[in-house]
Amino acid sequence: MGLALVFPGQGSQHVGMGKALAEAFPSARAVFEEVDDALGQKLSTIMWEGPEESLTLTENAQPALMAVSIAALRALEAELGRELARLAEPAGTVRYVAGHSLGEYSALAAAGAFTLADTARLLRTRGRAMQEAVPVGEGAMAALLGIGLEGAQKLAEAAASKASKPGGEVCQVANDNAPTQVVLSGDKAAIERAVAMAKDYGARRAVLLNVSAPFHSALMAPAAKVMEEALAEVAIRPPEVPLIANVTATETRDVEAIRGQLVAQVTGTVRWRESVAYMASKGVERVLEVGAGKVLSGLVRQIDRTLTTAQLGVPEDLDAVTALFKA
């Protein structure tokens, strides 16, 4: 039975995440130490002791979530006595890796495309660039519930068309998360209009999100430029397991395609619904969420109820997860 490993994005962070893994597994503890060294900062102290407002900062949350994901994977590899590459050999179990937004970097680190140190530094750069791309208070994001992609796109176009700002306003789909969950991103005024108009377009509910910037929108163009330059300086190896890319919702192991997709991802839509559907169409029957929280597992169940989900974020998860590789 095919298995996919998926890695969470921003919003899944919480103080204390990863501490139990570090205490239980030397291989997990080594991940946090390497990330601290790469960043020249005791990020692990912020992760385990807080304060929460420091952990929530985009420049900290992104590398922190990646560190927990890779630490959990290293703990699993230690329990199984095999590395991910061995789990994905022709007769192996793991078919694909995928991640939601920043989780795509975690997926690539897990698959050996990036070194751990490079991944941490890239995510620190990404977090800062995304935060600095738009002045605080000028952008916003909103979650739409009970509406699909087509309805959300029509709503976004309608909200943007009513702009009074010279040159227009941005309102676009940032995340196509599930059949009835879509996130919009853009100028604050346009997003607020979209929330007010949402029920007229079929949404059951629309909620402004507590985020610091309008991620995955055209307003992130300055951040995309920063990441283009940063990624040009980093070595990327072909991943040992095919990646399902956010912006294409299809698989690749091509290094230059991955480099371009990571740049496009900054301003483009996270096509999570299509990504999960693609994996299922290629024989994936089980999805393991590696890292903090259970957000992606919930989305997977909304997308395809035939898929079995499991989570690996704390040592107590390991017994059930290792069984997946013996089934």
Percent of residues in the chain assigned helix, strand, coil, to nearest 5 = 50, 15, 30
Whole-number Å distance between alpha carbons of 81 and 9: 28
Tallying the residues shown for the chain, one arrives at 327
Residues with Cβ < 8 Å from 32, sequence gap 6 or more? 18, 22, 43, 44, 47, 67, 71
Cis preceding-peptide flag for 63 (omega within 30 of 0): no
Half-sphere exposure of 268 (CA within 13 A, CB side): 16
Q: Note whether 99 and 265 are within 8 A (CB).
A: no
Q: How many CB atoms lie within 10 A of CB 282?
A: 15
Is there a catalytic annotation at residue 275?
no
Measuring CA to CA, which residue among 244, 114, 247 is closest to residue 173?
Answer: 247
Among candidate residues 27, 69, 101, 275, the one labeled active-site is 101
Candidates 117, 94, 118; CA nearest to 7 is: 94
Choosing from 27, 185, 216, 217, the catalytic residue is: 216
Catalytic residue list contains 216? yes
Residues known to be catalytic: 101, 216
